[in-house]
Amino acid sequence: MDKTDKFSDAVNGGVRALLRTEGLLLLVAAVALYARIGSGWGLFALIFLAPDLSFAGYLLGPRIGALTYNIMHSTVGPLALAAASLVFDQHLTLALALIWLAHIGFDRALGYGLKQSRGFGFTHLGPIGRSVKES
């Protein structure tokens, strides 16, 4: 399999740039909304990197690692949490959802996409890491 085939399911060019820009705007919007609800920056700092605990799934192999990473780095979870927080009028839950969305936006803006089961370096936004790009 040549390099082109290995990454044929990843986006590139203008689409990749658009998705990374979308991530940046998600980060900005989530941080702006978080600032507006006034939950304090200590909580933000404490929770911002929490979704990366999902890396621990890679200890059980690339398939489980990709699954745990993708669960914690998809917008589905935090958007559902935000919707629930609005329905049940839970301020803390909304704050947590916004921090989670900010984290996802930050990762996407940097080019860290949802993972494929082939390994951590294979993402929907293209390869990450020197060893994956060179192979």
pLDDT band at 5 (very low <50, low <70, confident <90, very high): low
Between 54-68, 76-90, 92-106, 113-127, the lowest mean confidence (pLDDT) is in 113-127
- Does residue 116 belong to any structural domain of this protein? yes
Q: What is the pLDDT of residue 1?
A: 40
- Does residue 76 belong to any structural domain of this protein? yes
| Whole-structure pTM value | 0.87
- Does residue 53 belong to any structural domain of this protein? yes
Find out whether 77 and 71 touch, Cβ atoms under 8 Å: yes
Structural domains counted in the chain: 1
- Does residue 42 belong to any structural domain of this protein? yes
Where in the sequence is the domain holding 28, given as residue range(s)?
Answer: 12-125
- Does residue 131 belong to any structural domain of this protein? no
pLDDT band at 118 (very low <50, low <70, confident <90, very high): confident
Separation of alpha carbons 37 and 21, rounded Å = 24
pLDDT band at 124 (very low <50, low <70, confident <90, very high): confident
Q: How far is CA 111 from CA 51, 101, 121, in A?
A: 16, 15, 11
- Does residue 81 belong to any structural domain of this protein? yes
